[in-house]
Chain A
Amino acid sequence: MYVAVKGGEKAIENAHAWLAELRRGDPALAELGVEQIVQQLRLAVDRVMTEGSLYDPELAALAIKQARGDLIEAIFLLRAYRTTLPRFAAACPLDTARMALKRRVSATFKDLPGGQVLGPTFDYTHRLLDFALAAEGAAPEPAPEAEPDVAGTLPRVTDLLAGEDLIETAQSAEDEERHVADITRESLSLPAGRDLRLQMLARGDEGFLLALAYSTQRGFGNSHPFAAEIRGGQVDVSLVPEELGFEIEIGEIEVTECQMVNQFLGGEETPPQFTRGYGLAFGQSERKAMAMALVDRALRAAELGEESDAPANDAEFVLYHCDNVQATGFTEHLKLPHYVDFQSELSMLRRLRAEFLAREDSGEGDDQEAAE
Chain B
Amino acid sequence: MNTKAAGYNYAYLDEQTKRMIRRAILKAVAIPGYQVPFGSREMPMPYGWGTGGVQVTAALIGPLDVLKVIDQGADDTTNAVSIRKFFAAVAEVATTTATERATIVQTRHRIPETPLREGQILVLQVPIPEPLRWLEPREAETRKMHALEEYGAMHVSLYEDLARHGRIAKTYDYPVLVEGRYLMRPSPIPKFDNPKLDRSPALMLFGAGRERRIYALPPHTRVESLAFEDHPFEVETWEARCRLCGAEDSYLDEVIVDDAGGRMFVCSDTDYCNRRQAAQGKPNPEMLGGKA
Leading 7 A-B pairs by shortest Cβ distance: A329-B47, A333-B48, A329-B46, A187-B37, A330-B48, A344-B171, A187-B212
Interface residue from A6, A336, A340, A345 paired with B49 (Cβ < 8 Å) = A336
* B48 close to A80 (CB less than 8 A): no
Chain A residues in 8 Å Cβ range of B253: 339-340, 343
Asked whether, in the complex, the Cβ of A337 is within 8 Å of the Cβ of B71, the reply is yes
Q: Which residues of A contact B149 (CB under 8 A)?
A: none
| Contact A83:B252 (CB < 8 A) given known A5-B77, A76-B46, A316-B138 | no
> B residues within 8 A CB of A338?
72, 109, 188
Q: Mark A1-18, 1 if CB is under 8 A from B, else 0.
A: 110111111011000000
Q: A109 contacts the other chain (Cβ, under 8 Å)?
A: no
Which one of B39, B47, B140, B167 contacts A330 once the chains associate, using CB atoms below 8 Å? B47
- Which B residues from 233 to 291 make CB contacts under 8 A with A? 236, 238, 244, 251-255, 257, 264, 266, 268, 286
Residue contact B139 to A316, C-beta cutoff 8 Å? yes
Closest Cβ–Cβ distance, residue B76 to chain A (whole Å):
5
Q: Count A/B pairs, Cβ under 8 Å.
A: 145
Are the CB atoms of A348 and B192 closer together than 8 Å? no
Q: Which of B37, B49, B127, B254 contacts A343, CB < 8 Å?
A: B254
**Inside 8 A of B138's CB, which chain A residues have their CB?**
316
Of the listed stretches A31-39, A95-103, A188-196, A219-227, chain B binds A188-196
Let me know if B120 is at the binding interface, CB within 8 A: no
Candidates A12, A84, A344, A352; contact of B165 at CB < 8 Å = A352
Q: A339-B254, A344-B191 are in contact. List 8 more A-B contacts (CB 8 A).
A: A2-B264, A86-B14, A191-B140, A328-B46, A329-B48, A330-B210, A332-B48, A352-B165
Q: Are B171 and A79 in contact (CB under 8 A)?
A: no
B42 near A: Cβ within 8 Å?
yes
Q: Which residue of B lies closest to A185 (CB)?
A: B39
A42 CB–B CB distance under 8 Å: no
Closest B residue by C-beta to A11: B78
Given contacts A79-B42, A80-B42, A352-B165, contact A339 B127 (CB under 8 A): no
- Residues on B with C-beta less than 8 A from A190 are 139-140
Q: Do the beta carbons of B192 and A344 come within 8 Å of each other? A: yes
- Does B79 contact A341, Cβ atoms closer than 8 Å? no
Q: Which residues of A contact B48 (CB under 8 A)?
A: 329-333
B-side contacts of A340, CB under 8 Å: 72-73, 109-110, 172, 188-190, 251, 253, 268
Q: Does B169 belong to the interface (CB within 8 Å)? A: yes
Assess whether B8 is interfacial by the CB under 8 Å rule. yes
Interface residue? B81 (CB, 8 A): yes
- B206 at the A interface (CB under 8 A): no
Per-position contact with A for B163-192: 1 when CB-CB < 8 Å, else 0? 001110101110000000000000011111
How far does the alpha carbon of A347 sit from the alpha carbon of B138 in the complex, in Å? 32
Residues of A within 8 A of B173 (CB): 341
Query: Is residue A355 within 8 Å, beta carbon to beta carbon, of the partner chain?
Result: yes
Alpha-carbon gap, A330 to B79, bound state (A) = 14
Contact A333 B172 (CB under 8 A): no
- List of B residues within 8 angstroms of A344 by Cβ: 171-172, 190-192, 236
Q: What is the interface of chain A, defined by CB distance below 8 A to chain B?
A: 1-2, 4-9, 11-12, 76, 79-80, 82-84, 86, 184-191, 316, 320, 325-326, 328-333, 336-341, 343-348, 351-352, 355
Tell me which residues across on chain A come within 8 A of B26, comparing CB atoms.
none
Task: Verify if B59 is at the interface (C-beta below 8 Å from A).
Answer: no
Contact B171 A348 (CB under 8 A): yes
Q: Are B169 and A348 in contact (CB under 8 A)?
A: yes
Q: Which one of B189, B212, B254, B286 lies within 8 Å of A6 (CB-CB)?
A: B286
**Which residues of chain B are within 8 angstroms of A330 by Cβ–Cβ distance?**
47-48, 127, 210
On chain B, the residues within 8 Å of A346 by CB distance are 254
- Nearest-CB distance from A81 to chain B (Å)? 9
B232 contacts A by Cβ under 8 Å: no
* Interface size of B in residues (CB-CB distance below 8 Å): 64
B38 in the interface (beta carbon within 8 A):
yes
Chain A residues whose C-beta falls within 8 Å of the C-beta of B172 in the assembled complex? 340-341, 344-345
B41 contacts the other chain (Cβ, under 8 Å)? yes
Q: Is B74 an interface residue (CB 8 A)?
A: yes
| Nearest neighbor of B190 in chain A, beta-carbon distance | A344
Contact B47 A326 (CB under 8 A): yes
Contact between A8 and B80, CB atoms less than 8 A apart: yes
A256 to B241, CA, bound (A): 64
Residue of B nearest to A359 (CB): B166
Q: Which residues of A contact B37 (CB under 8 A)?
A: 187, 189
- Chain B neighbourhood of A185, CB < 8 A: 39
Residue of A9, A80, A187, A316 near B81 (CB, 8 A) is A9
Nearest residue (CB) in A for B165 is A352
Q: Is the CB of B212 within 8 A of A188?
A: yes
**CA A187 to CA B210, docked complex, whole Å:** 10
Q: Are A341 and B188 in contact (CB under 8 A)?
A: yes
CB pair B78 A332 closer than 8 Å = no
Mask: chain B, 1-41; 1 = CB below 8 Å from A; 0 = not: 00000001100101000000000000000000000011111
A86 and B51 CA atoms in complex are apart in Å by: 20
A343 touches B252 (CB 8 A): yes
Residue in contact with B43 in the complex, picked from A80, A341, A352, CB distance below 8 Å: A80
The residue of chain B having its C-beta at the shortest distance from the C-beta of A53 within the complex is B42
A122 to chain B, nearest CB (A): 32
Give A79 to B51 CA distance when docked, in angstroms.
14
* Known pairs A6-B286, A325-B47; A347 contacts B40 (CB<8 A): no
**Nearest CB of chain B from residue A203's CB, rounded to whole Å:** 11
B187: min CB distance to chain A, Å: 10
| Chain B residues with CB under 8 A of A5 | 72, 74, 76-77
Find out whether the CB atom of A337 lies under 8 angstroms from the CB atom of B191: no
